[in-house]
Amino acid sequence: MSFALIPAGRFTMGSPPGELGREAQELPHEVRISRAFYMGIHEVTQRQWQQVMGSNPSWFRGCGKDCPVERVSWHQVQVFITRLNRLTAQRFRLPTEAEWELACRAGTTTPFHTGGDLTAARANYDGEGPYGRSPPGLFRRTTTKVGSFPPNRFGLHDMHGNVWEWTEDWHCPYATEAVTDPVGACATDFKVIRGGSWYFDANSARCALRYTHRPQDSGFSIGFRLVRPAE
């Protein structure tokens, strides 16, 4: 696995009033990430999952071992992480929702790290559901090999589309004031997933879009990427 250094810093999490597709839960608020961290340049692949777990649960096996693993629940991902940490003596984990959005934005404040729109030439999503006034594009109907599309400014690929990505957070309301290193922890049955997927439209891939699944759920458009400490 290859990782990119994500620097500590402050950013506005959520979306501004008037952003197309915006949901009320995307309350803009200042977030400080106090420590730099490393994030996987790619989503975890079927090859990597099989090396650790000895099996491949993915629906799109014909896509190739370098396509993202999918059909993995949050609970299964925790087992993968535990085994990987034992094998490597590292401290891999899922990103928090705030870390994920900081990394996705890569210093931008627009709906996508590509700007105000996202074309199907820049990400794997359902191109028949474009964003705003963008023209329709290709609907590939499958995952694609990780790294097939240009990275953002941090060097991260597929932060928009390909597969949804599990985060560490439970789906909790945002803070109404500035916070440092937030992690969603509240009484709810749902975990947050981010980034959209090959099966969903462009709006679902916005940097600020929050989507959810129960931690026991899995599907052919849900995967993950890892982070680890920088110290």
Query: 40, 60 in Cβ contact below 8 A?
Result: no
Task: Give the residue-averaged pLDDT of 148-170.
Answer: 98
Express each pLDDT in 88-101 by its tens digit. 999 999 999 999 99
Structural domain boundaries in the chain: 1-231
Residue 85 has pLDDT above 90, yes or no: yes
Residue 62 has a pLDDT of 87
Query: 228, 37 in Cβ contact below 8 A?
Result: yes
Express each pLDDT in 106-144 by its tens digit. 999 999 999 999 999 999 999 999 999 889 999 999 999
Q: Which residues of 85-117 are buried (b: 16+ CB within 10 A; e: fewer)?
A: eeeeeeebbbbbbbbbbbbbbbeeebbbbbeeb
Residue 141 has a pLDDT of 97
Entry pTM: 0.97
Which CATH code for domain 1-231?
A: 3.90.1580.10
Task: Give the residue-averaged pLDDT of 64-83.
Answer: 97
